[in-house]
């Protein structure tokens, strides 16, 4: 007799793609007629903007660009100038055909930016962009539960408390602010470059809403009326929420990745700075579910054949946040630090002789004055490994973002320091055994010559394996030996045989 289990579904999201792509783009930039000829390029900086995301069913694409500022010393010896450019990029990811459109999450990072003069009036700008692309598609995992099972059939049931991604989306918003420099700070004559860094302070699910707040930090490099180069930093707080598709309980958690989509910073007639930045908060909701599965079955009174499948759920095993400090020294004869930037890359897992490790890398960009007061620029790449123990049956996905402002100090070269906050998520790659049907033989009469009570060692498989091997039940063994938990493997037990 075949006993079919009842099929139910567990709705969730599964990853169709998770991959970091790097792309290098170059662009020729011609100086405006009003600007003096190029003498020496001092440095180049950039800010990545996300423009669009598209789901194609068998893949996805992401497009955007880099706002680039190139600082140069003119050939005529006048004060340094800054020229800006827009360098576009587009990346594509392929994955197996999906049945439904899903959600795309990105994390765009600038790996490096540099420029060189090809003539007195032209610059060749080069940027290296890194984009982490994640595709999440709706999915219904099939679960099988027993219906009416004969009393003589024993079932091994296990309950798994797992965290599953269940909803994803995004909330677009604008941060706008008018800021004024302190009275003690020199006024802004000309903006040379600026960058924005978004950091989240809090993110949570409140019933049918996801709520998040944070701040956008703005770093400004400018020239004052006395033609001195200055920096200034200010921040703008924000608080946002968006409605979810359904209400969730207290176990639900939100993971939000902010992305910059537009950026403008202008100087007003009275010296105030007007900031307007477009952002999108890309969110994934994780909820805790209890999944009960039948892993095995037997009967002391008949033959039982078990039909199983492997259930592979996109479970999140562990989620933690690490702050990593990175340092490097740039060999240079510096007298004063003018400005410093820090472009960290997405970390990745590396196998070493000492075990798995997380590899971090990034590039520092520094503007400084040498001992004679001349303005100079330099860059230094930094790499380091951090031990990261992990199970063989798991997969770690890491997403990092810079935190705080990078630091630089002079002494035996230029000492550079930067920090990244890394979100480390460990996902299961191993499936769970699940019984989907039973083939039951005919009931048999017990053997009258067989003793009703035997003595056996517990063994490696625990009470279930012992009961199945001896033709008993787990409950009968527990009662006969007054057990409240699994016994040691070498313990002798009384086994009531049916």
Q: Count Cβ neighbours within 10 Å for each residue of 235-249 and write b for 16 or more, e otherwise.
A: ebebebeeebeeebe
pLDDT at 49: 98
Domain boundary among 239, 272, 298: 298
**Residue 152 near residue 443 (C-beta atoms within 8 A):** yes
pLDDT of residue 349: 87
Over residues 7-44, the pLDDT tens digits come to 999 999 999 999 999 999 999 999 999 999 999 999 99
Based on the domain organization, do 131 and 200 belong to the same domain?
no
Same domain assignment for residues 201 and 221:
yes
Classify residue 148: in a domain, yes or no: no
Please indicate, yes or no, if residue 5 is contained in any of the structural domains: no
Do 345 and 411 sit in the same domain of this protein? yes
Query: Alpha carbon 53 to chain centroid distance?
Result: 17
Q: Are residues 190 and 277 in the same domain?
A: yes
Say whether both 26 and 112 belong to one domain: yes
- C-alpha closest to that of 70 among 33, 114, 27, 111: 114
pLDDT tens, 64-100? 999 999 999 999 999 999 999 999 999 999 998 887 8
Give the range among 338-347, 357-366, 381-390, 416-425 with minimum mean pLDDT.
381-390
Domain count along the chain: 4
Q: Is the alpha carbon torsion for 183, 184, 190, 193 positive or negative?
A: negative
Per-residue b or e along 17-42, where b marks 16 or more CB atoms closer than 10 Å to that residue's CB: bbebeeeeeebebebeeeebebbebb
pLDDT band with cut points at 50, 70 and 90 for residue 453: confident
For residue 392, pLDDT beyond 80: no
Mean pLDDT of the 279-288 span: 97
Tens of pLDDT, residues 407-417: 999 988 999 99
Domain termination residue (choose one: 427, 442, 457): 442
291 shares a domain with 164: yes
Integer Cα distance of 56 and 54 in angstroms: 6
Paired tokens of 223: 């020239």
Residue finishing a domain among 90, 114, 139 = 139
Instruction: Specify if 147 maps to a domain.
Output: no
- Does residue 457 lie in a domain region? yes
Report the pLDDT value the prediction gives residue 387, as an integer from 0 to 100: 84
pLDDT score at 263: 97
Q: Do 35 and 88 share a structural domain?
A: yes
Calculate mean pLDDT across residues 1-8. 90
- 132 and 184 share one domain: no
Same domain, 244 and 268: yes
Are residues 187 and 263 part of one domain? yes
| Whether 25 and 85 share a structural domain | yes
Higher pLDDT, 98 or 338: 338
Q: Structural domain of residue 169, as residue ranges?
A: 154-298
Give the integer Cα–Cα distance in Å for 21 and 445. Answer: 66
Q: Are residues 239 and 126 in the same domain?
A: no
């Amino acid at each position: 007799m075949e006993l079919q289990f009842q099929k139910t579904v567990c709705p969730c999201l599964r990853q169709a793609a998770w991959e970091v792509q790097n792309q290098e783009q170059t662009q020729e930039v011609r100086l405006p007629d009003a600007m003096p000829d190029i003498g020496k390029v001092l440095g180049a900086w950039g800010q990545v903007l996300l423009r669009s995301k598209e789901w194609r069913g068998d893949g996805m694409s992401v497009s955007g660009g880099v706002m680039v500022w190139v600082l140069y010393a003119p050939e005529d010896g006048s004060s340094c100038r800054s020229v800006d450019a827009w360098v576009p990029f587009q990346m594509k990811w392929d994955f197996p055909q999906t049945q439904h459109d899903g959600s795309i999450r990105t994390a765009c990072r600038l790996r490096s930016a540099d420029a060189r003069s090809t003539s007195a009036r032209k610059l060749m700008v080069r940027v290296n962009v890194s984009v982490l692309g994640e595709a999440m598609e709706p999915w219904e995992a099939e679960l099988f539960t027993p219906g009416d099972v004969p009393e003589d059939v024993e079932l091994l049931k296990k309950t798994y408390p797992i965290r599953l991604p269940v909803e994803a989306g995004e909330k677009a918003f604008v941060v706008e602010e008018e800021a004024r420099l302190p009275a003690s700070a020199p006024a802004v004559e000309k903006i040379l470059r600026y960058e924005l860094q978004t950091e989240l302070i809090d993110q949570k699910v409140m019933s049918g809403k996801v709520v998040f707040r944070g701040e956008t930090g703005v770093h400004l490099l400018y020239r004052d009326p006395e033609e001195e180069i200055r920096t200034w930093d200010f921040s703008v707080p924000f608080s946002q929420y968006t409605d979810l598709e359904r209400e969730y309980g207290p176990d639900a958690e939100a993971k939000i990745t902010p992305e910059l989509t537009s950026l403008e910073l202008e100087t007003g007639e009275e010296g105030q700075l007007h900031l307007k930045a477009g952002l999108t908060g890309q969110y994934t909701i994780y909820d805790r579910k209890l999944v009960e599965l039948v892993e095995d079955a037997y009967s002391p009174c008949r033959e039982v054949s078990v039909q199983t499948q492997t259930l592979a759920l996109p479970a999140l095993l562990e989620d933690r946040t690490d702050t990593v400090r990175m340092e490097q020294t740039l060999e240079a004869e510096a007298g004063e630090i003018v400005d410093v930037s820090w472009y960290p890359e997405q970390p990745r897992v590396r196998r070493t002789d000492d075990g798995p490790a997380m590899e971090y890398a990034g590039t520092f960009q520094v503007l400084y004055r040498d001992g004679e007061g001349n303005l100079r620029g330099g860059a230094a790449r930094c790499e380091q490994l951090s031990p990261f123990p992990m199970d063989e049956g798991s997969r770690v996905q890491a997403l990092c973002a810079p935190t705080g402002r990078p630091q630089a100090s002079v002494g035996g070269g230029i000492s550079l320091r930067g920090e990244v906050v890394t979100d480390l998520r460990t996902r299961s790659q191993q499936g769970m055994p699940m019984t989907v049907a039973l083939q039951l033989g005919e009931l048999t009469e017990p053997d009258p010559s067989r003793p009703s009570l035997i003595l056996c060692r517990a063994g490696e498989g625990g009470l279930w394996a012992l009961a199945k091997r001896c033709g008993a039940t787990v409950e009968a063994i527990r009662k006969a030996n007054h057990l409240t938990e699994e016994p040691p493997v070498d313990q002798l037990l009384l086994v009531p045989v049916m």
